[in-house]
């Protein structure tokens, strides 16, 4: 994973950073590794067409789009692989789905002040059916709220003591995301399965590098 964490950042800042990072990676790969992409048989034109800004849709809209396309996604559940494929096929570049129900996301994600049942989070879905390549959010920076969410999720307090202490004496709005390196490589290379992009995969015949 590539995991930037940014101080004084809200959800919009995180989405802006994520889309700029992905477009930068694409442009560098096209500039420096075009020959390898051609060897792999990648349709380079699809990568060349990707540019800012990326489309952004709410979770509410994502549910509507999936159901309109024949999917069975119910509001309040997380997106499955099939749902992600339906959504990503509707765009020619990565799409960012934001503000999922807090119940399907991690306890440390900041609730939406307008709709507290939602989390200020985002997933970036790569086109061509490759699914999620980035997941991130604005984090809870208030100690009391973070403790409340920890208890709501019925998680033990002691293993998270260090994490709670980061907020104990005050913090600032901040956020971050994780970008799956193997997932991005699979998408950019046009490789069918992510297992082919893992440098040291663990299989039934191999558990050590």
Distance CA 200, CA 209 (A): 5
Structure token pair of residue 116:
């507290």
Q: pLDDT (tens digit, 0 to 9) for every residue of the chain, 209 residues total?
A: 999 999 999 999 999 999 999 999 999 999 999 999 999 999 999 999 999 999 999 999 999 999 999 999 999 999 999 999 999 999 999 999 999 999 999 999 999 999 999 999 999 999 998 999 999 999 999 999 999 999 999 999 999 999 999 998 889 999 999 999 999 999 999 998 888 898 887 778 877 76
pLDDT tens profile 172-192: 999 999 999 999 999 999 998
Gyration radius from the chain CA atoms: 19
- pLDDT on residue 18: 98
Sheet containing 56-58, strands listed edge to edge, beginning at the edge strand earlier in sequence:
5-7, 174-179, 131-139, 121-126, 95-98, 56-58
Q: What pLDDT does residue 202 have?
A: 79
CATH class of the 5-58+87-197 domain in this structure: alpha beta
pLDDT of amino acid 209: 65
Cis ω before 53 (30° cut-off from 0): yes
Q: Which pLDDT value is given to residue 208? A: 74
């Amino acid at each position: 994973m590539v995991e930037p964490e940014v101080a004084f950042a809200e959800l919009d800042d995180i989405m802006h950073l994520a889309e700029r990072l992905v477009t930068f990676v694409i442009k560098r790969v096209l500039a420096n590794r075009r020959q390898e992409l051609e060897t792999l048989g990648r349709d380079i034109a699809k990568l060349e067409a990707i540019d800012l800004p990326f489309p952004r849709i709410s979770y509410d809209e994502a549910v509507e789009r999936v159901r309109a396309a024949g999917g069975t996604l119910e509001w309040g559940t997380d997106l499955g692989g099939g749902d992600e494929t339906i959504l990503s096929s509707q765009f020619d570049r990565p799409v960012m789905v934001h503000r999922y129900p807090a119940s399907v996301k991690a306890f440390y994600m900041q609730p939406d002040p307008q709709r507290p049942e939602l989390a200020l989070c985002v997933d970036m879905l790569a086109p061509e059916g490759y699914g999620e390549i980035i997941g991130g959010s604005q984090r809870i920076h208030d100690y009391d709220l973070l403790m409340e969410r920890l208890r709501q999720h019925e998680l033990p307090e002691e293993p998270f003591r260090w994490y709670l202490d980061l907020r104990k004496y005050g913090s600032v709005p901040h956020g971050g995301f994780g970008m799956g390196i193997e997932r991005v490589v699979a998408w950019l290379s046009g490789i069918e399965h992510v297992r082919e992009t893992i440098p040291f995969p663990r299989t039934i015949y191999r558990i050590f590098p």
